[in-house]
Chains A and B, each alone.
Chain A
Amino acid sequence: MYRIVNKRRLNPTVTMMDIEAPLVARKAEAGQFIILRVDADGERIPLTVAGCDRERGTVKIIFQIVGGTTERLNHKEAGEYISDFVGPLGRATETEGLRKVCVVGGGVGCAIALPVAQKLASLGAEVHSIVGFRNKDLVILEEEFAAASKKLDIMTDDGSYGRKGVVTEPLKETLEAGEHFDEVIAIGPLVMMKFVVATCKPYGVKTVVSMNPIMIDGTGMCGGCRLTVGGKTKFACVDGPDFDGYEVDFDEAMMRGSMYRDFERHAYEEACNLFRKEVE
């Protein structure tokens, strides 16, 4: 059992937790992920590491409530326990030799983009962050991004905060203006990463994306997380989760990601009903 040390609501649908898991905290690096189960017989879900405190032995996770499992997790409070927590899995984001990087985050993906930006900043790289959200209420981690970035662009779909528009707009303007980046690192919804890649391609700037497909074991056994990268089958859990964005077949990944959509919606509604009953 793994104790929830700290819990904080970042916005109405996104929650941050620090989980006591000293072995994971000792090793976890930006870009890696963990798998957790909330209760016995629960689903295994992968979540990318949003930070860790090696001395306290805690790992930070940030999750959006999108299904039954995240709904159940969100009902756990600090001091309570979750049943399983394993990691760090996958390969860390490669940061060596990068001097100037554009980090693009979308929605809850910003939670994963932040530790990458922070690591780059701590290594002395110049970071330009572009983060996008649907609206003002959903903006998270603004101060943290500002601290890690030389330049920060905040975008909202409806213009209720920052600039109105999508993340690819300032990215394109920056590249068009002749700015040179060693790398663009994009973390967010598949469709956002697909368009970030499309935006970067004409300028030939290397673009790395962080993939988050359906997963079960997370250790290279089940093959559920397979992707087509450069025409070859790759497994996000052991070969990734970061891949060269130019090589990833996003359309296939989006199609595969919808496999259990109906089931997940149903599970989410069930979980919501369950908790509503408990409240009454």
Chain B
Amino acid sequence: MPNMNPKKNPMPTQEPQVRAHNFDEVALGYTAEIAVDEANRCLHCKNAPCVQGCPVNIHIPDFIQKVKEGDFEGAYGVIALSSSLPAVCGRVCPQESQCESKCVRGIKAEPVGIGTLERFVADYHNNHAAAEPAVPEQNGHKVAIVGSGPSGLTCAGDLAKLGYKVTVFEALHLAGGVLVYGIPEFRLPKKIVQKEVDELKKLGVDVETNVVIGKTLTIDELFEMGYEAVFVGSGAGLPRFMGIPGESLKGVYSANEFLTRNNLMKAYLGDPSTPIQHAKKVAVVGGGNVAMDAARTALRLGAEKVYIVYRRSLNELPARKEEVEHAMEEGIDFRLLQNPVEILGYQNPDDRRDPKNGCVTGIKVIKMELGEPDASGRRRPVEIPGSEEVLDVDCVVISIGTSPNPLIKDTTAGLEVNRHGGIIVEESTGKTTKEGVYAGGDAVTGAATVILAMGAGKTAAKAIDEYLKNK
């Protein structure tokens, strides 16, 4: 008999007042008992609409069936057929708009907690599996992967399992891409990412850090070195700014810089080698997952007051629902339908050498209302004249997206990009305009999600395999 409780088993979490002051993971994960109880809410629908909602098409009812039976390792085996990074996806996927949005139980009540179950199964496996993965038989073909973020790691894993000799080139000193520099510890512990990277190495994947493709080596040189195909998963690029006065003041960060200092460079630890401003009052501009991460990081670094300034309403907030809820519980002040017009700074008229000169003192925002829908289909925010207000802050984090990195495009003849700078690909294969070169993730789409990038890595791995088999 299925468990007909209309409500999901809630995810156990650290108390908001406690977690707002530490960098430990917020969500604590299901126990085995809760996991089985939650799994029993699944009706095991024959047509499994949830699977269509998953960008990598995990056989969701099958893995949940194994959880029902208490066969957690078996459940992991089912997930691993489709996903290379389940411990990551269970934590960062926007399930509410993917698998769980299609769940039949969700029509009348709450959907099955697919994401939390996935996370439980992956953590169970990571904590219990002792067996080393078998190294697949090599087929003698070499493939290069550019970037070790979610799309690159997925593509590398899939190709390694098919017997390819895969080398992943990473520009930074540590593999993981956005999973290590962008997503904070309290949402995705770095030891989980490290574990996933280690698993790939066990499959025979080489990871070369400190190599910037487009600078240290070009794509054409990779082919000269004997790689027969290249996957470009170089991620999002340069942070966008708003072009308002005051964006160069001291205390204005892009979200990428703020999060990189904190996560990759570990500025949150006591006595770090890389500094970060421990601001008292912070305004984060933007409404995506990255904005939520930056706001909650600022809080944990000791800020007394943190604002999210977003120009549309709660309904349009692009961040995952869980992140918005967590941020609100932690006391982040959401200034919705407000848009910055200027960042204000300190200037001592009597002392040009005053070290406080140029430090942020506030952000001027204007109230907005929603007008007619724009090209994106979302209602366009329009300024309400005369509604300006100054928020008293000493730090501003701009989190309004990125534009693609030019390094690869500029050094690769024959690789075409669209007018936004994203690499042009055939959607069903990830094939670019240059023979043997495939691409996916944010380098193609602009800032999107981890799971979409993984889906693109997966698609490209399949296409690369077909390409090389028929070559």
Binds A, one of B70-78, B210-218, B317-325: B210-218
Question: Which residues does chain A contribute within 8 Å of B260, judged by CB atoms?
Answer: 216-217, 221-222
B173 touches A219 (CB 8 A): no
A224 and B257 in contact (CB under 8 A), knowing A258-B250, A258-B355?
A: yes
What CA separation (Å) do A233 and B405 show in the bound complex?
15
B216 pairs with A27, CB closer than 8 A = yes
Interface centre among B181, B238, B251 (most CB of A within 10 A): B238
A252 vs B407: C-alpha distance when bound (angstroms): 27
**B171 CB-CB contact with A under 8 Å:** yes
Which chain B residues in 262-300 approach chain A with CB under 8 Å?
264-266, 273-275, 277
A82 to chain B: closest CB distance in Å? 11
Closest B residue to A215 by CB, please name it. B257
A23 in contact with B211 (CB, 8 Å): yes
A43 at the binding interface (Cβ < 8 Å): yes
Residue contact A41 to B273, C-beta cutoff 8 Å: yes
The answer, among B171, B248, B357, for a CB contact under 8 Å with A226, is: B248
Expressed in whole angstroms, the Cα–Cα distance for A82 and B211 within the complex equals 16
Say whether A85 faces chain B, with CB atoms less than 8 Å apart: yes
State whether the Cβ of A259 lies closer than 8 Å to any Cβ in chain B: yes
In the complex the two chains form, is A43's CB within 8 Å of B273's CB? yes
* Residues of A close to B355: CB separation below 8 A: 258, 261-262
A89 touches B212 (CB 8 A): yes
Contact B265 A44 (CB under 8 A): yes
Q: In the complex, what residue of chain A is closest to B259 when comparing beta carbons?
A: A222
Whether A87 and B357, one on each chain, are in contact in the complex, defined by CB atoms closer than 8 angstroms, is no
Residue A63 lies at the interface, judged by CB distance under 8 Å to chain B: no
Measured in the bound complex, the distance between the Cα atoms of B173 and A224 in whole Å is 18
Bound form: Cα–Cα A219–B211 in Å: 11
Which residues of the other chain, A, contact B212 by a CB distance below 8 angstroms?
86-87, 89, 219
Q: How far is the CA of A207 from the CA of B273 in the complex (A)?
A: 36
| B136 CB within 8 Å of chain A | no
Chain A 117-158 near chain B by CB (<8 Å), digits 1 or 0: 000000000000000000000000000000000000000000
B residues near A240, Cβ cutoff 8 Å: none
Residue of B nearest to A219 (CB): B171
Cα distance, A249 to B237, chains bound together (Å): 24
Q: Does B53 contact A (CB under 8 A)?
A: no
Looking at A41, A216, A261, the one whose CB has the most chain B CB atoms below 10 A away is A216
Query: Which residues of chain B come closer than 8 Å to A98, judged between CB atoms?
Result: none
Q: Chain A: interface secondary structure?
A: mixed
CB of A238 closer than 8 Å to a CB of B: yes
Contact of A43 with B248 in the complex, beta carbons under 8 Å:
no
Known: A41-B266, A256-B358. A216 touches B171 (CB 8 A): no
Whether the Cβ atoms of B172 and A217 lie closer than 8 Å is yes
Shortest CB-to-CB span from B234 to chain A, Å, is 9
A86 x B211 contact (CB < 8 A)? yes
Q: Which of B215, B241, B253 has the most CB of A within 10 A?
A: B215
Is B248 within 8 A of A256, CB to CB? yes
Do A42 and B273 contact each other (CB < 8 Å), given the known contacts A217-B260, A226-B248?
A: yes
User: Is A84 located at the chain interface by the 8 A CB criterion?
Assistant: yes
Also in contact, A84 and B209, with CB within 8 A (given A27-B215, A37-B173, A217-B171): yes
How far is the CB of A70 from the nearest CB of chain B, in Å? 12
Residues of A within 8 A of B (CB-CB), count: 42
CB B102 to nearest CB in A, in angstroms, measures 34
Contact: A223 with B238, CB < 8 Å?
A: yes
Minimum CB–CB distance from B224 to chain A (whole Å) comes to 13
A233 near B241: Cβ-Cβ < 8 Å: yes
Closest A residue to B235 by beta carbon equals A221
Interface residue ranges of A250-280 to B (CB < 8 Å): 252, 255-256, 258-264, 267
Question: A261 vs B353: C-alpha distance in the bound complex, in angstroms?
Answer: 13
Contact A69 B238 (CB under 8 A): no
- Provide the bound-state CA to CA distance between A114 and B253, in Å: 34
Q: Is there a chain B Cβ closer than 8 Å to A83's Cβ?
A: yes
CB distance from B381 to the nearest CB of A (A): 23
A86: chain B residues within 8 A (beta carbon) = 171, 173, 210-212, 216
Contact A221 B358 (CB under 8 A): no
Q: Are A260 and B275 in contact (CB under 8 A)?
A: yes
Contact B254 A23 (CB under 8 A): no
Q: CA of A83 to CA of B209 in the docked complex: distance in angstroms?
A: 11
**CB neighbours of A217 from chain B (8 A):** 171-172, 181, 260
Cα distance, A256 to B251, chains bound together (Å): 9
A83 to B212, CA, bound (A): 16
Query: Contact between B405 and A219 (Cβ–Cβ < 8 Å)?
Result: yes
Query: Considering the chains assembled together, what is the distance between the CA atoms of A68 and B275 in angstroms?
Result: 12
Among A42, A220, A260, the residue within 8 A (CB) of B238 is A220
Q: Which residues of A contact B100 (CB under 8 A)?
A: none
A27 nearest in chain B by CB position: B216
Pick the contact of A222: B216, B249, B254, B358 (CB < 8 A): B254
Q: Which residue of A lies closest to B271 (CB)?
A: A270
Apart from A219-B171, A223-B257, what are 10 other A-B pairs with CB-CB below 8 Å? A24-B216, A69-B273, A86-B212, A220-B405, A222-B257, A223-B239, A223-B241, A224-B253, A226-B248, A233-B248
Q: Which of A's residues lie within 8 Å of B, judged by CB?
A: 23-24, 27, 37, 41-44, 68-69, 83-89, 216-217, 219-224, 226, 228, 233, 235, 238, 249, 252, 255-256, 258-264, 267
The 3 closest A-B pairs by CB, nearest first: A223-B254, A223-B239, A255-B358
Complex A-B: 17 CB contacts under 8 Å: A23-B216, A37-B173, A41-B273, A43-B265, A86-B211, A89-B215, A216-B274, A217-B181, A219-B212, A222-B256, A233-B247, A238-B406, A252-B248, A255-B248, A255-B357, A259-B250, A259-B251
